Structure 1
Amino acid sequence: MNVFSDIRLALAQITDRRFLRVLLLGLVLTVLLLFLATWALAWLVGGLVPESFELFGRTIGFADTLAEGTVVGAMMVASVFLMVPVASAFTGLFLEEIAQAVEERYYPGLPPAPGVPWSEALRDSLGFLAVIVVVNLIALALYFVSGPFAPFLFWIVNGYLLGREYFQLVAMRRIGRQGATAARRRHMPQIWIAGILMAAPLSVPIVNLFVPVLGVATFTHLYHRLETPELTPAP
C-alpha cells in the first residue's frame, strides 16, 4: 500500500453518513466565512471609494460598484489561499468524528482511541493555524516572483504544513503528543508527499471544499499503515 491507496480508501467512504454530515457543515461554514470576508472587504473599500468621479470631463457614477466588483473577484482568487487556514481550522473541529468513522469502517478490531483533551486539541489547532498564516504571508511575496512555479511552491510549502498538522493530530488520538511527534519525524517524507497531494486540490475552487474531510480520512489510513502495519483495512 502507499499514499494513493490511503486516498482511494478515503474517497470510497465519502458517502458515509458521518462524512456527509461533516462535509455539509464544513461547506456551510466555509462559504459563510468567505462571504463574510468578502462583504467586510467590499464594505471597507466601498467606504473609501467615492460614489462618482470625473474622467475626461465625464462623471462616472458607479465607481463604488466597480470597486466592490473588483473586491469580489479578488476574494475569489484569495479564496485559494484562505482555504489553507480554513482547512487547518476544520481539521481540529471535525477530526474525531471523521477518524472514528474511518476506524469503525476499516479497522473494527481497534480499541477506542484515548483521544486528546479538547483544550489541548484547540491549543494545537490554533498554534498550527497561526504557523500556517504566518508562513503563507511570508511566502506570498515568493509566489508573485516565482512566475509559473508559484503553484508548485504553494503545494510544497502547504503540503509540508498540512501534512505535519494532519498526521500530528491523527496520531495524537492514539499515542499522545510525544509519540505523535516521534512518529511524524520517522515518516516525514511520506507525510510530506501526502500533504502535497492534499494541498494541490486546495488551489482548485469548489474542489478545495472537500479537502478537510478527505484529508483527515487519508491521514487516518496513513497513520495506521505506517504505525500499525499488522493491521489491514477491512474490505
Structure 2
Amino acid sequence: MLVTAFNRTWAQLLHPKFRTVFFIGIISAILVLGSLIYSLYEFWPKEYQTGFEWIDTGGFTMLATLASYVLFPPIATTVMSLMADQIADAVEDEYYPHRKATRRVPISEAIVSGLKLTLILIVVNIIAIIPYLILFALTAGVGTLLLFLTINGFLLGREYYEMVGMRHMTRRPLHIFRKENSGTIFITGFAIAGMFTIPFLNLLAPIVGAALMTHIFQFLAEDKNLNLKKETI
C-alpha cells in the first residue's frame, strides 16, 4: 500500500498544481523560518560565556540547526493545510475520479487545524529536547532520530490524515475511521517525518506528504468499502 502510494506520488510530482503549491508553500515556510532564526540570532546572548568552548563557539549554530529541524515540519504543514485541496484534487483527478471529494473545507477550519498542529509539534518537541540530547550522547544520534521520527510521525500522520479526510467526512466519522486505521496512518506519518529530516528532500516533504496521505486514505476507504459520497453528507 505505502510503496504504491509513493510510486504514484513521485510519478505525479511535476503536475502543475504540485508546482504551484510547492513554490508558494516552500517560499512561505522558508521566510517564516528565516525570520525566526534571525530573531534568535538577534537575541542570542553573545557576551555570555558558559565556560564550555563547544557551546560558546558553536552554541548558536547547534540551536539554529535544531530549531530548523523542529520548526520546519509544523510551519510547512501549516502553510500546506491552506492549500491541501489543490494537491488532493490533483491526486483524485488522476487516480480516483469516481471517489472525488465533494466537501470543501472552510478556510477558517483549515487555519485552526494547521495552527493547532504547529503549536502541538513545537511544544512536544521542546519538551523532548532533553531526551533528544540524552539519546544523542548515549546512542550517537540514532536514538534521537528514532524518537524524533516517532513523535513527529504520530503527529504529522494524524494531521495529514485530517487534512485529506476533512474533504470527505465530518469530524466524528473521520476520528472513528482514524482510530480503526491508526497503525497505517502512523507508518505513513513516520515516512513523512523521515522526509523532513533529509536536506533538500524536506522541501518536497509537505507536498509529497499530502499526496501520499491522499492515496493512503483512498486505499483504506476502498479496503473498508467506505461510501465516501455518503460520509460527505
Check conservation: 2:25, 2:80, Cα contact below 8 A. Answer: no
2:168 alignment counterpart:
174
Once residues 111 and 224 of structure 1 are traced to their aligned partners in structure 2, the CA distance between those partners, rounded to angstroms, is 10
Q: How does 1:177-216 map to 2 (within 5 A)?
A: 177-216=171-210
Check conservation: 1:163, 1:195, Cα contact below 8 A. Answer: yes
TM-score, with length taken from structure 1? 0.83
Q: CA RMSD in A?
A: 2.2
Q: Deviations over 1:86-127 (max 9, x none)?
A: 233123122111111111111122354212222222222222
Runs of 4+ aligned residues of structure 1 deviating over 4 Å after TM superposition are none
Q: Does 1:49 align with 2:43?
A: no
Once residues 10 and 159 of structure 2 are traced to their aligned partners in structure 1, the CA distance between those partners, rounded to angstroms, is 20
Once residues 46 and 72 of structure 2 are traced to their aligned partners in structure 1, the CA distance between those partners, rounded to angstroms, is 28
Once residues 134 and 181 of structure 2 are traced to their aligned partners in structure 1, the CA distance between those partners, rounded to angstroms, is 32
TM-score, with length taken from structure 2? 0.83
2:53 alignment counterpart:
none
Q: Does 1:115 align with 2:115?
A: no
1:19 alignment counterpart:
18
Once residues 127 and 82 of structure 1 are traced to their aligned partners in structure 2, the CA distance between those partners, rounded to angstroms, is 14
Query: How far is 1:29 from its partner?
Result: 1.4
Q: Deviations over 1:113-146 (max 9, x none)?
A: 2122222222222222222122111111111111
Structure 1: gaps spanning 5 or more residues: 51-65
2:152 alignment counterpart:
158
Structure 2: gaps spanning 5 or more residues: 48-55, 227-233
Once residues 142 and 73 of structure 1 are traced to their aligned partners in structure 2, the CA distance between those partners, rounded to angstroms, is 16
Check conservation: 1:38, 1:72, Cα contact below 8 A. Answer: no
SS where residue 198 of structure 1 aligns? helix
Query: How far is 1:228 from its partner?
Result: 2.3
Larger Rg: 1
Q: Does 1:38 align with 2:31?
A: no
CA, structure 1 residues 112+156, in 2 after alignment: closer, same or farther (shift >3 Å)? closer
Query: How far is 1:212 from its partner?
Result: 0.6
Q: Deviations over 1:180-223 (max 9, x none)?
A: 11110000001101110110121122221111110000000000
